Structure 1
Amino acid sequence: RMENGETLPQIVSRSKHIILKHWSKWNEQQKTRAAILFDKFPKLLEGYSLSMKLTDIFNKKSGLDEARLNLARWYNEVEKFDYMEFNKVLDTFSNHSTTIINYFEERLTNASAESFNAKIKAFRSQLRGVADLKFFMFRLARLYA
């Protein structure tokens, strides 16, 4: 048993949601559990720190140049970390760097378009296929206009 009375498998299974939250939102029990987890798995701490740094970059109200500089520093840290999953993230960022940087200009995302697409897909699945496209568009316009 660990310091908090839990076994390591219990800590691992109960920590899944902890590593998805920002450390500032952890309660005392979660902080204790995370300290034990990160002590046993230091690579996990490094990966968690990198992901939270990225979250902080996007949450900070910074200008375009400052954001670009912070992202470049983050890229360098990820390259030093040299973990395959994070390298996939780097590839995604390098492929979409202009649109990612554009976020810092107006702080706008395509979340509303994605939400609307999800609503359309749910509506389509309720109809079990679309036979009459004109009627489908009419119903869609009536429901979501």
Structure 2
Amino acid sequence: AVQEMRVKYRWEALDAENAALEQAKATQNAYELEVLSNGDTLKQLLARSRYVLYKKPSDWTDSQRERATLLFDRYPDLKKAYDLSQALSHIFENTTDKLYGLARLAKWHEKVRQCGFKAFNTVARSIQNHYDTILNYFDN
């Protein structure tokens, strides 16, 4: 779900850059790409952030941390989606009891519902439809 949002924003950035380039040509003005503080253009930021979004913040390198800050400042929805995915991972990594697992998954599901991200709704529904089987994970 997080990667889907990243790709969507990447296409939007491409469209915006192409429109700006066409406008510059039409007005015969020079077109200058926006270069971010880490040296990336917006397209590069979105392309290179893929690996950042697969990792936990504790595993980020310094350049990935800087890239994540730039990315999340520009795309707050992406930060929300990333936080939701990390929260779900945290549940499975740190819960060893079915009852706590059920409660934490229910709270996570409520956060997903409040955010309104369609891709996460699919994941949340799948978890909800298979609670019994998924909760067995916490026994082992």
Normalising by the smaller structure, the TM-score range is 0.7 to 0.9
Report the alpha carbon displacement of residue 31 of structure 1 after superposing the two structures with TM: 0.3
SS in 2 for 1:75: helix
Find the counterpart in structure 2 of residue 50 from structure 1: 84
The aligned runs of 1:91-130 (5 Å cut-off) are 91-106=125-140
Report the alpha carbon displacement of residue 16 of structure 1 after superposing the two structures with TM: 0.8
SS in 1 for 2:132: helix
**4+ residue runs over 6 A deviation:** none
Find the counterpart in structure 2 of residue 67 from structure 1: 101
Q: In structure 1, how many angstroms separate the alpha carbons of the residues matched to 2:128 and 2:97?
A: 20
Aligned length: 106
Q: In structure 2, how many angstroms separate the alpha carbons of the residues matched to 1:6 and 1:16?
A: 14
Q: Where does structure 2 lack aligned partners over 5 or more consecutive residues?
A: 1-34
* Matching of residue 9 in structure 1 with residue 9 in structure 2: no
Which digits, 9 at most, give the CA deviation of each residue in 1:76-120, with x for residues without a partner? 1000011110111111111111111110012xxxxxxxxxxxxxx
Of structures 1 and 2, the larger Rg is shown by 1
Which digits, 9 at most, give the CA deviation of each residue in 1:46-93, with x for residues without a partner? 000000000011000431211111111101100001111011111111
Find the counterpart in structure 1 of residue 68 from structure 2: 34
Q: In structure 1, how many angstroms separate the alpha carbons of the residues matched to 2:102 and 2:129?
A: 15
TM-score (norm 2): 0.73
SS in 2 for 1:35: helix
Percent of aligned positions that are identical: 36
SS in 2 for 1:24: helix
